[in-house]
A and B are shown apart, each in its own frame.
Chain A
Amino acid sequence: MKNKPWYPIAYMFAVTLFFSSIIIGLSALTRDRVEANQKLAFEKAVLDVLPIEVPAQASNLELHDLYVKLIQDPTPSSGSAYIYKIGNEIKGYALPISGKGFWDEISGVVGIAPDKKTITGISFYKQNETPGLGAEIAQLPFREQFVGKTIAKTGAPFNIKPVSEQTDDNSVHAVTGATQTSIRLEKFLLEQLEIWRKAMM
């Protein structure tokens, strides 16, 4: 049988069918879990950028419940930002931002106070920048700079400046040595904040 011309084809077909079936089965079984993980990473980032007290040891389920309780999906009047509401009072906005980084797509969230201009935080839930350099944008020292800064009313809404320049109310310092990440982050952050500013002001 092994010498028959059809044998290799039949063999390859059978082997592929066998292994593929297992893979397809397993990925179907874990699909919900994978999707939930991706959603949770986003929800964590949203809770992180808004002035919300999150218990330090909160489980994933507790975080998700907290998110469902406090955060509402974007409406036309919120300029595609998620809304943090207690009762009828708006307590803040969480604006999703994303764009091309140096290596891969960067996705994050900017928290904005009800005054529509003060930044309450920034967080990145997806990035693949160089560890130790570009990836520092996801670390506290870089992100903390944004807290309390404001989106400018005119001109560029925000700036990321080299460390050699002074920062003001509308800018932060870039990560030294991560020029490309900083330039690209600034580009899409600016574009998307500008769209938001137009929609909200």
Chain B
Amino acid sequence: MASEASTRTIMVKGLWKDNPIFRQVLGICSTLAVTNLVLNTMVMCIALVFTTALSSFTVSLLRNHTPRRIRMMVQTLIIAFYVILVDIGLKAFWPEMSENLGPYVGLIITNCIVMGRCEAFAGSNSPVPSFIDGFYSGVGYSFILVIIAFFRELLGMGTLFGYPMPFFSTIWDKWIIMVMPPGAFFALALVIWLFRTISADSEEDSK
């Protein structure tokens, strides 16, 4: 960890090799909670990418001044700061979305990915690589969430972004369970299974 990793390595790790969802299985609470509509999911993901990238950056900026013993308190404070910024922004400028996401925006503070990146990377690397690391970890989380949300909304409600889809909103017998909590567990498990199988194959190929 001491040597500075290249942008490309950081990117590949965040998006694939150490993907927060299907590799590290972090941040599952929000994965289950907000993935029943694609639009909500995307806003949640943007909020998370913003928070991980900037908190990693800030934690890294302060890393040489922060006493080790209180570093987690400082990290939580910084994370909370950015999350509240997002929350205030949504409440003021996009009240409908703020209403839809309810308490989940605030819960980004407790999302393990954010603190995980601060602890594992930002604490021992300089600000710019930390920012990149936070950003790509956020994106790695986001693309899995959008995949899950896509299938949950399509199969469960027959819509995408709230617009009725041909076939799925008419002939298709909606799987209501997909938009309920159990549907999230099924979808998440299937996605983890699928992606782990793919990444296991690609690891074997490269050997």
Q: Which residues of A contact B (CB under 8 A)?
A: 2, 7-8, 11-12, 15-16, 19, 22-23, 26-27, 30, 33-34, 37-38, 41, 104, 126, 128, 130-133, 177
Contact = CB atoms under 8 A, between A and B. Distances in A.
Contacts of B69: 8
Given A8-B67, A30-B92, 20 more contacts: A2-B67, A7-B67, A8-B70, A11-B66, A15-B62, A23-B85, A33-B92, A33-B93, A34-B88, A34-B92, A37-B92, A37-B95, A104-B102, A126-B99, A128-B99, A128-B102, A130-B180, A132-B156, A132-B174, A132-B179
Interface residues of B, number: 28
B91 A37 contact: yes
A23 B81 contact: yes
B157 interface: yes
A127 to B, nearest CB: 9
Contacts of B179: 130-133
A104 B99 CA distance: 11
Most-contacted residue by chain B among A22, A34, A38 (CB, 10 A): A34
B74 interface: yes
Given A23-B84, A26-B85, A41 B95 contact: yes
24 contacts: A8-B70, A11-B65, A15-B78, A19-B78, A19-B81, A23-B84, A23-B85, A23-B88, A26-B85, A27-B88, A34-B88, A37-B91, A38-B95, A41-B99, A104-B102, A126-B99, A128-B102, A130-B180, A131-B37, A131-B179, A132-B157, A132-B179, A133-B176, A133-B180
Contacts of B85: 23, 26
A72 B84 CA distance: 36
